[in-house]
Structure 1
């Protein structure tokens, strides 16, 4: 089923369940957000990458109006709901300042914290964060769609984040993240070893004499 919704393209990827703060200042987006608040309707954030809309985005709704400034600007908090595929882009929507589009809203995925790939994913995530000396309290039981929870936290490029957005199952996304971490962890480990060598440079060292 296709729906016509207002669109707020951004050069980022939003995932279902994600909280996103927006500072809204352009007249077209002030109009869009005002309507969504007053009419309690949703809007879409399609990913805008390399100066184009590749086709997928996330339906979001405004959860909090933090501040409204005298000149009309706003600070709002939004939350991701469902992923959509853009069918037709309208810029602008007739009689509106903002763009919109006909979208196919994808059915929400059934949450699941189990799976063959969760344990190896958590193992790699722990290794990465140990190397970076970052503390984490990620709990998969509190984040059923766990891949979305950590996707912005593992060094993916925006193109990789978008690729993850287009994947239909949690298992597929977890495998994608495992492959990514398998490439990233050795690079980070080598960087940490390099940092240690740099720190040692210029300090006195106990060296064993070499016998020739």
Structure 2
């Protein structure tokens, strides 16, 4: 299937919301085309060495604002993951032939894994001083995409997570990330507390 592509310095996950301000002429044309055809476009990470091979489609859920000069503010939501097979430069905006893919069957995380991931996720955010997003997490469902989208991590790691075809494997990668981060964050929090206690005037 051929879809329009929007290269961005971002990794979009299925289910995640992505607000966009559309100002370049080619992307204004792309958005109008997608609205007219009621079709999504593909968000793919733009890297220094070129485009990532794995991306995620974004459906336009709302047009928030139209400006007199044609610029738009839109809200999009991640839908399906895809792998780029061939690029197409025949229009002003980039297009690509893509193959869609889902997780492999029988590759889900356990509830215990999901509980551990959620607990460590919020501890990492708290210690890192990152304001936690309100995540409607249902531990009876898969949550790895929601946690990955909210991670304060580098885009390379997020890109790796996007390409994994197993929820259980994504959960293991998340647990490894949390367990690597937490000792440093805990030491930093303890050092900050000691410094504050040392400067306390009785």
- Give the structure-2-normalised TM-score: 0.87
The answer for the alignment partner of 1:151 in structure 2 is 148
Deviation of residue 156 (structure 1)? 1.8
Q: Do the aligned partners of residues 56 and 136 (structure 1) sit closer, same or farther apart at CA in structure 2, a change above 3 Å counting? A: closer
Alpha-carbon separation, structure 2, partners of 1:101 and 1:132 = 38
**How many residues in Structure 1 have an aligned counterpart in Structure 2?**
200
Q: Which moved more, 1:59-68 or 1:149-158?
A: 149-158
Aligned to 2:9: 11
Candidates 113, 117, 120, aligned match of 2:116: 120
Secondary structure of the residue aligned to 1:8 is strand
Q: Cα–Cα, structure 1 residues 85 and 178, in superposed 2: closer, same or farther, change >3 Å?
A: same
- By how many angstroms is 1:198 displaced? 2.8
Report which of the two structures shows the higher radius of gyration computed on alpha carbons: 1
Q: Assess, with a 3 A threshold, how the Cα gap between structure 1 residues 137 and 19 changes in structure 2: closer, same or farther.
A: closer
| Of 66, 89, 92, the match for 1:68 | 66
Q: Distance in 2 between matches of 1:100 and 1:140?
A: 34
Task: Report if the CA contact (8 A) 2:87-2:94 is conserved.
Answer: yes
| Deviation (angstroms), 1:201 | 4.2
Deviation at 1:167, TM superposition (A): 0.4
SS in 1 for 2:65: strand
Over the aligned positions, Cα root-mean-square deviation in angstroms equals 2.5
- Larger strand proportion, structure 1 or 2? 2
Query: What is the deviation of 1:142?
Result: 7.2
Alpha-carbon contact 1:112-1:144 (below 8 Å) kept: no
| TM-score (structure 1 length as normaliser) | 0.84
Asked if the contact 2:82–2:99 (Cα under 8 Å) also holds between the matched residues in 1, the reply is yes
Distance 1:60 1:193, change over 3 A: same
Structure 2 residue aligned with 1:102: 97
SS for the counterpart of 1:86 is: strand
